Amino acid sequence: MVGFMAQDMDKKGTKIRILRAAKKEFASNGFAGARMDSIAKTAKANKAMIHYYFDTKEKLYREVLFFVVGRTQTEQLPLGVPDVDVSPSESLASSIYFIVSMHYDCFDPEFHRMMAWDMAEGNHHGRVLIQEVFAPAMERLESVIIEGVKSGEFETENPIFEVWTIISSIVHYMRSRDLFKGSPMQKKLYPENGKNVLIDYLTNHVFKSLAPRSVTLPKIPENVKNLLDHELQNLKKNYCEAI
């Protein structure tokens, strides 16, 4: 029994080494330029082992994408809406808190370089990540805004564009961090408490956009915040520290 467990752990360790090595290779050279020999050398595994676990280069790339976001292909990406009874406003504020925290705590420049290569090469291998992970997550957040419109908490003619504004603002902000290093704008845009600054700013901006009349910003319920922090700790432990 112990022997089988040790063998399973060794297999898992080998797969993770391959995924990490592949992520580095794809980030440096794109899909077309990535070489299986280089991945095998970095992972300290032979090419036969890579093909045994992942079959083809395309399947390896796909597995790397899901590995990066810390999800299996059957899991949903969390957006910070725990399974408790909260209002649409509280749910949206919770989502903003969670998404910003997730990007700050788990920022992976290699993943962003992979996506840049993917667009430049026109291969659109990353499209599977959009279709199977991010689009469903965005739809769940859209449903929160739609529910808020129905309850009278929000006003908008296009809920999905509100979602896009939230997501794209956070992603672009994080992608641009290295570009501002050493510039006079670095401390202004990326202060030491940048995560909290961005959460506060984005929450204010989004809620003013959704409710142009006088609005009171919601406070995330303490029990909800505790659940979010617990999920974030699990995310950092199981993904951020593993990549």
Q: What is the pLDDT of residues 159-189, one digit of tens each?
A: 999 999 999 999 899 888 888 999 999 999 9
Q: Name the token pair of 214.
A: 């006088």
- Whether the CB-CB separation of 203 and 93 falls below 8 Å is answered with yes
pLDDT at 27: 93
Q: What mean pLDDT is reported for the chain?
A: 84
Supply the pTM of this predicted model: 0.76
Q: How confident is the model at residue 214 (pLDDT cuts 50, 70, 90)?
A: low
**Rounded Cα–Cα distance for residues 202 and 19 (Å):** 34
In 3-state terms, the chain is what percent helix, strand and coil (to 5)? Answer: 70, 0, 30
Nearest to 149 by CA among 232, 89, 85: 89
pLDDT at 151: 92
Nearest to 159 by CA among 172, 134, 141: 141
Residues 99-158 pLDDT 10s: 999 888 888 889 889 988 998 888 777 788 888 888 888 998 999 999 999 999 999 989
